[in-house]
Amino acid sequence: MFGRIMSGRIEALEAKKDILDARIQQEHARPQPDSIRLQSLKRMRLRLKDDLVRMQQRAARAIRQGRHARGQLTAAF
């Protein structure tokens, strides 16, 4: 259950990041891009990327701990 919830959140963050990437590209394509708008969009994208990395790390940690709890964790981890 936890994995599905985490996976859904990660997918949602990735989708939001993709939307921001598209908005940044659209702004760059304008004849006179708004530098303040671009800066704001890039900051939002960076926050999303940071959140995404944190969520992915939490998911990986949960998976490793779950395997360890079931005795399936190998020495490589």
In a domain, 75, yes or no: no
DSSP conformation class of 72: -
In a domain, 74, yes or no: no
pLDDT in tens, 32-74: 999 999 999 999 999 999 999 998 888 888 888 876 555 444 4
**C-alpha distances in Å from residue 65, one per residue of 16, 47, 61, 69, 73:** 29, 27, 6, 6, 8
Residue 20: give the domain boundaries: 2-69
Q: Taking the model in full, what pTM does it have?
A: 0.73
Q: Dihedral sign for Cα 51, 21, 12, 10, please.
A: negative
DSSP conformation class of 76: T
Mean pLDDT of the 18-35 span? 96
The number of folded domains in the chain is: 1
